[in-house]
Structure 1
């Protein structure tokens, strides 16, 4: 449990902006102590101050999720705080659809998969013991997914540049280093690399639930809070897209969700009793509305197949140096 007067301690990756920042605010308002795990500590502190989040509710720790050594340093730094860990939110992500050639992590992995999946996968493995030791009555590990990686939803059926699909995972099996840049070993497509990494996030949640929920009592879940069309996730898209996409979502599809509402939904999944369901992938009806009702969204076969999940888990363990 957290310090006196605090409900518990939650770590949120990528909490210096967007959904992660507003999730930090919403959880701090609920009485949680929030560990903001971010690349730029000065930016994180300034952002928290701009939303009037009390410094007493925060701990700032540095991490670059795309660098496995940085993840290990984060874990050591967190342990040095002496805090328990009652909840973990894997939120940080990169999306670089304009790349012509794959960008590589310090370990040589394609950067979207390295940051969005492998960095979080290592962080989860390194902090599971902390969560097992927590005395909090409802420990939760939450990973953000996306509609574009779930073919059970319309957004996941869009074939531009290609639907999320890990294929035979031959790229992972071959070590996932140059010249390989995709999980299935095929030609590099930056938009698909992002989708594949988020598919891995949802697969990880399902496999954590299968392997660990019954024995640990930890609640493992994922969510898609809605289309946060003006989030900093899109900072690497063309400027015209950054202008048109939010307008389109607000005025044409009606699917736009504000960063604040999305952050509130993350906080709900972390803290509210109605979301104490392990193995769930949460979504909301009337996503753009604050009173939209949550429901458990069905996942595609690619995200829920136990055989694919077990193989993804085992190969990921090797890629992060744990097997």
Structure 2
């Protein structure tokens, strides 16, 4: 039997923080958690859109302003979260950008690497104290099957794509970094003997706003060859929901759709590409991420 939203256990009394929850996968993930009784914190850059999302979701929803492309915003949001909440049960690192023209964050990082990886790396470290002593707490990282395109691993010689920029490869590298972060974080959580664990998921190809920056020629290919096979965002959200709530899910599990090429389908266990499991590269990425963000934790 497929795993569906009906399999999400009762979440009453739990607090879940979902980044990028104003639309797409994040919104659908937050909506299910709220329906199952959780207090859901919508951590979003645009509070106007977040308020509209909260009205649509209903239940116990709260807003937190968070722009992952600004370390100042990340620190301010983490401070607010620590002031407001005595704990977090779930942190779902969902927000992201895809295939943007070359731009930089407020701190000078290439936008996709800076937002998708460094922003979440910093925010997770700054709120981890809210999770680490909570039984059953989880950090869920949103990956993408596109991480497989980064076949040579993370380009540490040109992390910010200053020597050359390919928007698809930059996205692939950022999503590979997400998975490497999850495995690194899990190893550190286990060594620290805390109650939090880390997992990952990817939603397949879902109808969301994420592809709005894809070049026009690729959008044409998408509309003709891929879009007919895409799935609704609500179906894609089942993958992070399973990682976040399935009692049988374990640290290091990575969920994706069960259909051909992982484009669509029901959430099942998947294997990340080989570069994601390179522990030496994981350690190097962790060290560089600490240096770039100034956030150090679980050494």
> What does residue range 140-289 of structure 1 map to in structure 2 within 5 Å?
140-150=138-148, 156=149, 163=151, 165-167=153-155, 169-171=156-158, 181-182=160-161, 186-214=163-191, 215-228=193-206, 230-238=207-215, 242=219, 245-246=222-223, 248-251=225-228, 254=229, 256-275=230-249, 277-286=250-259
Determine if the alignment matches structure 1 residue 48 to structure 2 residue 54: yes
Aligned match for 2:33, one of 27, 33, 56: 27
Summarize the Cα distance change of 1:84–1:217 in structure 2 as closer, same or farther, 3 Å threshold.
closer
- The 3-state SS of whatever aligns with 2:136 is coil
CA distance in 2, matches of 1:166, 1:61: 31
Q: Once the 2 structures are TM-superposed, how far is the Cα of residue 268 of structure 1 from its aligned partner? A: 2.0
**Cα separation, partners in 2 of 1:187 and 1:250, compared to 1, 3 Å:** closer
CA gap 1:293/1:95 in 2 versus in 1, 3 angstroms: closer
8 Å CA contact 1:213–1:220 kept in 2: the answer is no
TM-score (norm 1): 0.81
Asked if the contact 1:202–1:222 (Cα under 8 Å) also holds between the matched residues in 2, the reply is yes
Cα distance change on mapping 1:209 and 1:225 into 2, 3 Å: same
In structure 2, the residue corresponding to 1:12 is in which secondary structure? strand
Q: Does 1:81 align with 2:84?
A: yes
Contact 1:212–1:218 (Cα < 8 Å) also in 2: yes
C-alpha contact 1:26 1:264 (8 A) present in aligned 2? no
Partners of 2:15 and 2:89 within 8 A in 1: yes
Cα offset for 1:247? Answer: 5.1
CA distance in 2: counterparts of 1:212 and 1:23, whole angstroms: 24
Give 1:66's aligned residue: 69
How far does residue 242 in structure 1 lie from its aligned partner after superposition? 4.7
Cα distance 1:293–1:212, how it changes in 2: closer, same or farther (>3 A)? closer
Deviations 1:94-123 (A, max 9, x none): 1234x2xx3111111111111000000001
Q: Indicate how the Cα distance of structure 1 residues 11 and 128 shifts in structure 2: closer, same or farther if over 3 A, else same.
A: same
Q: Normalising to structure 2: TM-score of the pair?
A: 0.87
- In structure 2, what is the Cα distance between the partners aligned to 1:61 and 1:294? 31
- Give the match for residue 175 of structure 1: none
Q: Unaligned regions of 5+ residues in structure 1, if any?
A: 151-155, 157-161, 173-180
Q: How do 1:70-149 and structure 2 match up within 5 A?
A: 70-97=73-100, 99=101, 102-134=102-134, 137-149=135-147
- In structure 2, how many angstroms separate the alpha carbons of the residues matched to 1:231 and 1:237? 12
- Equivalent residue pairs, number: 283
Alpha carbons of structure 1 residues 289 and 196: separation in structure 2 relative to 1, 3 Å: closer
CA contact (8 A) 1:226 1:262 kept: yes
Q: CA deviation at 1:163?
A: 4.7
RMSD: 2.2
Greater than 4 Å deviation, 4+ residue runs: 238-244, 287-290
2-structure distance, mates of 1:49, 1:243 = 34
SS of alignment partner, residue 10 of structure 1 = strand
What do the CA deviations read for 1:301-320 (whole angstroms, capped 9, x no partner)? 21101100001001100000
Shift of 1:243: 6.5
